[in-house]
């Protein structure tokens, strides 16, 4: 399918830029409407399993991002209080051989920069900044989007990729508000050289307690370490990068081993965001409009799949546009292709979050399983996740 008018994409994050690139690869013009005046991705890390890296290959982004990523050999799971190792889950060569693509960890700024660089290579991708989409109106064979300042954009279709707090998800698709999960996440990024000798900075580390867990992994080709601490807390602001009092955070993490706390205390500043959840929508499409990424299926971070799901959505959406005769058929085919998989990922992420924060006898049973079941066998249970193949693979 081709269209004289461009496909409008609300949101210039991972999902929005990926969708623009994927559609352009099929000869379909797009216009990305980004609410921010300038692109400035938050200083945090992102994990990309083989499914996400495979999507990056389809987009032609992998060659640009590869020099900036790290490739951890394993995930090391610790008892957060005792600092003992519970399990070593293979990544590195093992997961690449199993799924045909590596497991990458990267800085979000590098991810954003390479998506923008790839989009700049494609004449069919146009990007407009400072356009906060608020109102959508279908007009015959097209769609009209208005910004909060009154600016208007017209196109053949609209893809709302404006994140988990999507304004369009609520206004145009009439979705209920997100539900607070009772947890917040705090992030920081540290120089890897300063962490040497304190943590295994070449691996992905997971530290578990009943009230919180901590994840760390290398970014920027191993020069820095991204750290995320997820705690039970009743702070519910819709802010991706709110500063958090360092001493207050350390008090919430007091149950962790002094070995880990000694490393965390080296971070001069932390930023936090609240974790929200949502029930699955009855539909992601409405006429010539559809949702994509976190706007369609907000996912808790306990499988590290939010970015990968947006990338999968993007290449699937583009394949459906290429295969279908009209816009509405393409959007419905996209929804059908993605709804069951993303629902499974959302459910599995919730379950992982509960497992991470078990206490008492349940935590002892979890730890016993981690100690006794071989890491490769545990990872093989995620073949359904990492083994995803798109239509163009």
Quote the CA–CA distance of 250 and 242 in Å, as a whole number.
16
Proportion of the chain above pLDDT 90, given as a percent = 82
Burial of 110 (0-12, 13-18, 19+ CB in 10 A): buried
Our measurement of the distance from residue 392's CA atom to the centroid of its chain's CA atoms, rounded to an integer in Å, reads 22
Task: Give the number of other CB atoms < 10 A from CB of residue 93.
Answer: 11
Q: What is the mean pLDDT of residues 139-165?
A: 94
- Taken as a whole, the chain contains a residue count of 393
CA angle 296, 310, 36 (to 5 degrees): 85
Q: Which domains does the chain have, with CATH numbers?
A: 7-177+278-386 (3.50.50.60)
pLDDT of 212 reads 95
The β-bridge relationship of strands 285-286 and 289-291 is: antiparallel
For tokens 């099929």, the residue is: 26
pLDDT of 392 reads 56
Contact 217, 226 (CB under 8 A): yes
| DSSP structure class, residue 303 | G
Ranges assigned E (strand) in 196-314: 204-208, 212-219, 224-232, 242-244, 270-277, 285-286, 289-291
pLDDT of 41 reads 63
Residue 268 has pLDDT above 90, yes or no: no
How far are the Cα atoms of 81, 119, 249, 273, 355 from residue 239, in angstroms, in the given order?
A: 30, 27, 17, 6, 26
Q: What is the mean pLDDT of residues 377-387?
A: 98
Residue 375 has pLDDT above 90, yes or no: yes
Q: Which of these ranges, 206-215, 256-265, 336-345, has the smallest mean pLDDT?
A: 256-265
Confidence of residue 42 (pLDDT cuts 50, 70, 90): low
Quote the CA–CA distance of 281 and 287 in Å, as a whole number.
16
The DSSP line for 71-128 is --SEEEEEETTT--EEEEEE-HHHHHHHHSS--EEEEHHHHHHHHHHHHHT-TTEEEE
Confidence of residue 141 (pLDDT cuts 50, 70, 90): confident
Residue 4 has pLDDT above 90, yes or no: no
Q: What is the mean pLDDT of residues 264-293?
A: 91
Phi, psi of 286 (to 5 degrees): -150, 100
Q: What is the mean pLDDT of residues 268-293?
A: 91
The DSSP line for 363-389 is HHHHHHHHHHS-HHHHHHTTHHHHT--
Residue 83 has pLDDT above 90, yes or no: yes
How far are the Cα atoms of 157, 167, 256, 316 from residue 148, in angstroms, in the given order?
A: 19, 11, 46, 30
Quote the CA–CA distance of 185 and 165 in Å, as a whole number.
16
pLDDT of 206 reads 98
Q: In the Cβ-directed half-sphere of 268, how many Cα atoms lie within 13 Å?
A: 3
Residue of higher predicted confidence among 351 and 247: 351
Residue 130 has pLDDT above 70, yes or no: yes
Residue 354 has pLDDT above 90, yes or no: yes
50-59 helix and 92-99 helix, angle to the nearest 10 degrees: 60
Structure tokens at 208: 């578990």
Contact 156, 143 (CB under 8 A): yes
Residue 393 has pLDDT above 60, yes or no: no
Residue 3 has pLDDT above 60, yes or no: no
The DSSP line for 257-282 is -HHHHHHHTT-S-EEEEEEEE-PPPS
Contact 120, 32 (CB under 8 A): no
Give the residue numbers annotated as catalytic, written as ranges: 217
The DSSP line for 138-172 is EETTEEEEEETTS-EEEESEEEE---TT-HHHHHT
Q: Please state, rounded to an integer, the average pLDDT across all residues of the chain.
A: 93
Q: Which of these ranges, 32-46, 321-335, 354-368, 378-392, has the smallest mean pLDDT?
A: 32-46
Quote the CA–CA distance of 145 and 153 in Å, as a whole number.
5
């Amino acid at each position: 399918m081709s269209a004289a008018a461009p496909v409008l994409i609300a949101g210039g994050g991972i999902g929005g830029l990926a969708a623009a690139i994927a559609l352009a690869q099929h000869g379909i013009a797009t216009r990305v409407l980004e609410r921010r005046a300038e692109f400035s991705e938050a200083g945090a890390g992102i994990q990309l399993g083989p499914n996400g890296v495979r999507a990056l290959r389809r987009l032609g982004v992998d060659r640009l991002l590869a020099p900036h990523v790290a490739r951890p050999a394993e995930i090391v799971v610790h008892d957060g209080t005792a600092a003992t190792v519970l399990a070593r889950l293979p990544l590195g060569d093992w997961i690449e051989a199993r799924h045909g693509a590596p497991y990458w960890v990267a800085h979000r700024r590098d991810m954003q920069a390479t998506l923008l660089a790839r989009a700049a290579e494609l004449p069919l991708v146009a990007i407009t900044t400072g356009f906060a989409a608020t109102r959508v109106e279908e007009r015959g064979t097209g769609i009209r989007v208005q910004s909060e300042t009154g600016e208007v954009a017209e196109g053949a279709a609209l893809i709302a990729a404006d994140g988990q707090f999507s304004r369009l998800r609520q206004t145009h698709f009439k979705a209920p508000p997100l539900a607070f999960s009772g947890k917040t996440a705090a992030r920081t990024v540290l120089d890897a050289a300063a962490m040497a000798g304190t943590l295994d900075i070449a691996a992905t580390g997971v530290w578990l307690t009943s009230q919180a867990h901590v994840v760390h992994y290398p970014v920027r080709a191993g020069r820095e370490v991204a750290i995320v601490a997820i705690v039970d807390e009743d702070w519910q602001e819709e802010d991706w990068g709110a500063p958090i009092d360092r001493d207050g955070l350390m008090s919430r993490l007091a149950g962790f081993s002094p070995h880990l706390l000694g490393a965390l205390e080296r971070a001069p500043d932390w930023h936090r965001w609240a974790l929200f959840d949502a029930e699955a929508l009855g539909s992601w499409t409405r006429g010539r409009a559809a949702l994509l990424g976190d706007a369609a299926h907000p996912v808790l971070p306990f499988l590290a799949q939010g970015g990968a799901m947006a990338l999968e959505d993007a290449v699937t959406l583009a394949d459906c546009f290429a295969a279908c005769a009209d816009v509405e058929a393409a959007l419905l085919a996209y929804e059908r292709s993605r709804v069951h998989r993303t629902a499974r990922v959302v459910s599995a992420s919730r379950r992982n979050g509960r497992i991470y924060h078990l206490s008492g006898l349940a935590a002892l049973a979890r730890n016993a399983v981690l100690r006794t079941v071989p890491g490769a066998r545990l990872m093989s249970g995620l073949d359904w996740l990492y083994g995803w193949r798109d239509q163009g693979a």
